A and B are shown apart, each in its own frame.
Chain A
């Protein structure tokens, strides 16, 4: 079992008063709580903080923790032989159990209900995992492998960390920020308590072509000036496959051309739309003929895109 220095995690002395531990926890929780923080790694950091506080805020658990002695964080250690009898009551396999599981199993007041009250049932813990999927997986649906390690009691009532592997079918239409529930796939319930649930948070990888907003997609559509002025039919990629898009004559830069139902499928019915954002792109290198043609256009055109400036400008004397 690896030692974790809970006092260090909360940034307090080992002799800290209960009120100081609470104050330190609240300050860190405000900064790293996953519901309020967007800092990278906040969720993992908050788990550490929460684990430390859950143990140190409870007088009995703190006493049990202090009895383990002080070790460097991450160092392998074994609780003293009499520790389990005195504090835990729950038999555990020291090699594959985590310190957090051990203190969680004490359940406050220093005793696990399995020790003093075998008849008390407890629901299994809910777990939450984040799954990153590509836009193509969101479009077609995907099977995603999840490997989790959860604490559970074996047939002899000994606490272990057991690996669980799930092949989860993500249905088409999943999109960024959506949450899926796998009922009963979380921690095992104790003594007849219901099994916990597993929640899957979906995060979409950014795509090289499409930007996602809900189930709608946005795609930059570069056009030449003459395609924009004269109109054109251009081939546009979509997740459904390439389509030919008719660009009307006189299309302006920044305009959105909507391709109905070419976005991501919705979970129930229908699809989002794909919007092609027009960008008029000038050639960076022009040959002699092109320059001549642009010169002819400049000489022959009466178009003035800054005409409205003249109304507001003071007349020169």
Chain B
């Protein structure tokens, strides 16, 4: 079996994706992406330009949106609501992890 040595790409790096690239990589349609932008679920780098571009971190959101759409039969508005709630959960979990890290572990 051949072993490939491969490099990774950070998804947090600022590498701009067009609507079509984001659509291709996430399996959402360009129309769905534009709708999710309108609902505030996906934030373009600059919302005021004609040709929207997206940070690669948006790919994680777009792929989650695609899973939610397919696995729960949600329409785009339902996906946007679920994404907002999931983001809120993620933020609260990050806060919880931070607070746990600040708690002394040793019982004295």
Q: Which residues of A contact B (CB under 8 A)?
A: 26, 29-30, 33, 35-36, 50, 123, 126, 163-171, 176, 178-183, 185, 194, 197, 200, 211-214, 216-218, 220, 222, 254, 256, 267-268, 275, 277, 279-282
How large, as a class, is the contact surface on chain B? 35 or more
B44 to chain A, nearest CB (A): 19
Whether the pair B1, A182 counts as a contact (CB closer than 8 A) is no
Q: A180-B11, A267-B13, A279-B108 are in contact. Are A213 and B101 (CB under 8 A)?
A: yes
Residues on the A chain within 8 Å of B63, using CB = 126
Contact of B59 (CB < 8 Å), options: A30, A181, A211, A222: A181
Contact of A277 (CB < 8 Å), options: B2, B86, B102: B102
Name which residue of chain A comes closest to B99, CB basis.
Answer: A213
Select the residue from B3, B63, B71 with max chain A CB neighbours within 10 A: B71
Given contacts A36-B86, A281-B106, 12 further A-B contacts (CB under 8 A): A29-B72, A164-B1, A170-B8, A185-B4, A200-B8, A211-B100, A211-B101, A212-B97, A217-B101, A218-B101, A256-B102, A277-B102
Whether the pair A182, B8 counts as a contact (CB closer than 8 A) is yes
Whether the pair A220, B4 counts as a contact (CB closer than 8 A) is no
30 contacts between A and B (CB under 8 A): A26-B72, A35-B64, A164-B1, A165-B4, A166-B3, A166-B5, A166-B6, A167-B5, A168-B6, A168-B8, A169-B5, A169-B6, A169-B8, A178-B11, A179-B11, A180-B11, A181-B56, A182-B8, A185-B4, A211-B105, A213-B97, A214-B98, A220-B104, A222-B106, A256-B102, A267-B10, A267-B13, A279-B104, A281-B106, A281-B108
Contact of A50 (CB < 8 Å), options: B6, B56, B71, B101: B71
* Contact pattern, B 75-108, Cβ under 8 Å of A = 1, otherwise 0: 0000000000010000000100110111011101
Name which residue of chain A comes closest to B68, CB basis.
Answer: A35
Dominant secondary structure at the A interface: strand
Whether the pair A167, B105 counts as a contact (CB closer than 8 A) is no
**Residue B45 CB within 8 A of the other chain:** no
Q: Which residues of B contact A (CB under 8 A)?
A: 1-13, 24-25, 56, 59-60, 63-64, 67-68, 71-73, 86, 94, 97-98, 100-102, 104-106, 108
Whether the pair A182, B104 counts as a contact (CB closer than 8 A) is no
Name which residue of chain B comes closest to A144, CB basis.
Answer: B8
Contact of B106 (CB < 8 Å), options: A178, A197, A279: A279
Residues on the A chain within 8 Å of B12, using CB = 178, 267
Name which residue of chain B comes closest to A209, CB basis.
Answer: B105
Residues on the B chain within 8 Å of A213, using CB = 94, 97-98, 101-102
Select the residue from B24, B72, B73, B94 with max chain A CB neighbours within 10 A: B72
A217 and B56 CA atoms in complex are apart in Å by 27
Whether the pair B9, A183 counts as a contact (CB closer than 8 A) is yes
Residues on the B chain within 8 Å of A171, using CB = 8, 10
A180 to chain B, nearest CB (A): 4
A50 and B105 CA atoms in complex are apart in Å by 40
Whether the pair A167, B108 counts as a contact (CB closer than 8 A) is no
